[in-house]
Amino acid sequence: MEITALKEKLKQQIIDYLNLIDVEPADLQEDSPLFGPDGDLGLDSIDSVELLVLLEREYELKITDPKEGRKVLIDVNSMAQYIIDNVEAK
């Protein structure tokens, strides 16, 4: 899987799953934190569940360990890398 194409696809999926209003894929910085005050989106705990559902439905990747989830849901880069590492490992 080519990571640049994956990131673009992932950005659109994040926008769709979280119903982000007035946000385009180009607006999502790949290294900008998804959560917390430093992020552009200001996501919260409900959004984290939505993103876990995204990974499960779109990539068949199920994260059940909260510690693992915190490492994956940092930014678009970390999510994409997690997908690359685990989809290819399957």
Partner 1 sequence: MYIIDMSCISAQDTYNNAIFEEGVKVQTEAQYWAVEPKYKKMIPLNLLRRMSKSVRMGVGTGIPLIDQFKDSLDGIIIGSANGSIKKSVSFLNQIVEYNEGTLTPTDFIQSTSNSIAGTLALMGKITGYNNTHVNNGIAFESAILDALLLFEEKSAKRLLLGGVEEISQANYNVDSLRGMFKDVVVDSTQLLDSNTPGSVSGEGAALFVVDAEPSEAAVAQIIDVAQIVHPTSAEVLAKAKLFLERNKLTTDDIDALFLGYNGNSETDHYYNELQENLFPTQAVYVYKNLVADYYTVSSFAVWLAANLFLGKKMPSEVIKKAPTKPTERILIYNHYEGTQHGFILMSRP
* Binding window for partner 1 (CB under 8 A); candidates: 2-10, 16-24, 30-38, 67-75: 16-24
Q: What is the CA radius of gyration of the chain?
A: 12
* Binding window for partner 1 (CB under 8 A); candidates: 11-19, 30-38, 67-75, 78-86: 11-19
Nearer to partner 1 by Cβ, of 6 and 61: the residue is: 61
Q: Using CB atoms within 10 A of its CB, is residue 28 exposed (0-12), middle (13-18) or buried (19+)?
A: buried
Q: From the list 8, 9, 20, 33, which residue makes contact with partner 1 (rule: CB under 8 A)?
A: 20
Q: Residue 83, SS3? A: helix
